[in-house]
Structure 1
Amino acid sequence: MNERTATWSAGTGVLTLPSGRLVRGRGLRHGTPDGPPPDFGVYLLGKAPTLPWESRWLRCRDFWVPDAADAHAALAEALERAGSERVEVACGGGRGRTGLALACLAVLDGVPAADAVAYVRAGYHPGAVEVPWQHRFVRRFGMEEDRPHGR
């Protein structure tokens, strides 16, 4: 765990969660944003990325959803670390899968699952969470921890 306290500044691409924690969302195809790199990231991609900082990879092709149990574990870690570290979530384009992950983080931080997509669209990007099955994943996300292996 990183000993220093370092978080993002509120701004473009940074979602403020109800607890006040800040998490940056982005699309990897858009290049590296200005400013400091993350301390930890969760990446929803079809193939594992190679990055110079600590990260978790969630296998997830474009327009799909990750394994629920894997997502819950990775995002719970991301939420905890966002209290004192710069955390980002990203996919290729920065909307669908990134929006899904941000909405799930919002659920973990207390936003009702039924409201999480609207919360992320208002605070991150109006096009976040792109397809119906991603919406359904977010609505069911709060229930996943009660099911063995996310099933």
Structure 2
Amino acid sequence: MTDPWNPADPGVLRLPSGRLVRGRGLRRPLDGSAPTPSYALYLLGRQPPPVTWEFRWIRWPDFRLPADRAEARAALTEAWERAAGERVEIACGGGRGRTGTALACLAVLDGVPAEEAVDFVRSHYDRRAVETPWQKRYVRRF
């Protein structure tokens, strides 16, 4: 079991169950004092740069949906399960569209009704999270 995220830190989302997950944009480097994740899920169109922690990469081009939806569902479920006892990070390039969509899917797994998950993430993570109509639809159908 890893020490949890500090809920007051930037990008940390508290799900209704109490699980804490950090969302962020990879274009903004971590400052030296920021804690590192124990596990990360990277949502990018191409292979992410190497990191020192365990991660999984889902091919998910910017402003789009995951290339393999079954693989994405499995990866999101794994991230949600691991967030019960680990510092899990979800990240894409900017930290809003794909990351917000993934966080909304985690909220659905955590019991938030699918029709309310985007609003939940916008209220508790970033008001501009989940950027496209098809990303919103993906969450509703998740």
Cα distance between partner residues in 1 of 2:69 and 2:75: 10
- Describe the SS at the equivalent of 2:23: strand
Aligned residues: 138
Structural mapping, 1:2-151, within 5 Å? 4-11=1-8, 12-33=10-31, 34-49=33-48, 50-66=50-66, 67-141=68-142
Q: CA deviation at 1:5?
A: 3.2
> Unpaired segments of 5 or more residues in structure 1?
142-151
Q: Which has the higher helix share?
A: 1
- 23-32 or 48-57, which moves further after superposition? 48-57
Q: SS in structure 1 opposite 2:119? A: helix
TM-score, normalised to structure 1, is: 0.88
- The one-character-per-residue Cα deviations of 1:57-96 (angstroms, maximum 9, x if unpaired) are 1101110011321111111111111111100000000000
TM-superposed deviation, 1:48: 1.5
Q: Which residue of 2 aligns with 1:149?
A: none
Identity of aligned residues (%): 63
Instruction: Return 67-76 or 87-96, whichever deviates more.
Output: 67-76
Report the Cα distance in structure 1 between the residues aligned to 2:80 and 2:7, rounded to whole angstroms: 16
Stretches (4+) displaced over 4 A: none
CA distance in 1, matches of 2:2, 2:52: 19
Unaligned runs of 5+ in 2: none
